[in-house]
Amino acid sequence: MPPRATSRRQDIAAAALTVLQRDGYAALTARKIAAEAGLSPGHISYHFATMDEVLSEAYRLASQTLRQSEATLLATTSTPAERLHAFLAAGFTPDILSPPHLRMRIDLWSAALSHPAIAETERALYDRYRADLTQHLTALASPASTEKIPAVTDLIMATLDGLWLDWMRRHDQTAVQNGLALCLKLAGSELGKPLDTR
């Protein structure tokens, strides 16, 4: 794909994210996205076959915020325990926890329930995050505890989703920190290397 076409697709995806964060999924229209991007509506149909394809691209773009947060925090770590802590904390930075960002993420989760193209993108992004978490847990685990990694991964993934939803409802930073600390404690105790979670 020519660079200019790629740039246009990214502009449209970024505009879709802005509209999602501002107005929500129920109010999302191609016309609003085009206006936000400073383009005519025809540009959207030229670069994307369907609105689901626009939202899938927007979903991938949104995930880059988390990946950038992870890269920033992981750059300051060295031990497996520090890297796991940084990886988990990256999902709870102020940018990630901002109401517009979380609203957009939950809207996209909801859209994935009834739109196969969005669901496929959501699953790919979920699988990638889960694989990264598994890699961090594997680096931490003792040789005798590696069979426990899938179960620990399952519990941590479910806990992270719950913490995001709980934050939307209560905005309780202490609850987030307690949840992340318990994820670390669980990982350490189950995988044979107790961690300092202070």
Domains of the chain (ranges; CATH) run: 58-191 (1.10.357.10)
Q: Where are the alpha helices (DSSP H) in 3-115?
A: 3-23, 30-37, 41-47, 51-74, 80-89, 94-97, 99-112
Rounded to the nearest 5 degrees, what angle is found at the Cα of 183, between the Cα atoms of 88 and 103?
A: 50
Six-digit token string for 82: 């520090």
- 4 pLDDT band, cuts 50/70/90, is low
pLDDT at residue 67 in the model: 86
pLDDT at residue 62 in the model: 87
Q: Is the pLDDT of residue 6 over 90?
A: no
Six-digit token string for 191: 């995988």
Q: How many helices (H) and strands (E) does the chain have?
A: 10, 0
Q: Is the pLDDT of residue 157 over 80?
A: yes
Q: Is the pLDDT of residue 72 over 70?
A: yes
Question: What distance in Å separates the CA atoms of residue 35 and residue 21, rounded to the nearest whole number?
Answer: 15
Six-digit token string for 102: 């979380």
Q: Is the pLDDT of residue 194 over 70?
A: no
- 198 pLDDT band, cuts 50/70/90, is very low
CA-only gyration radius of the chain, Å:
19
Return mean pLDDT, the chain: 90
End-to-end CA distance of the chain: 49
* pLDDT-wise least confident of 47-51, 52-56, 101-105, 190-194: 190-194
CB distance 33 to 8 below 8 Å: no
Q: What torsion, rounded to 10 degrees, do the Cα atoms 83, 124, 100, 163 define?
A: -50
Q: What is the pTM assigned to this prediction?
A: 0.85
Question: What distance in Å separates the CA atoms of residue 168 and residue 113, rounded to the nearest whole number?
Answer: 20
Residue 162 CB-density burial (10 A; 0-12 exposed, 13-18 middle, 19+ buried): exposed
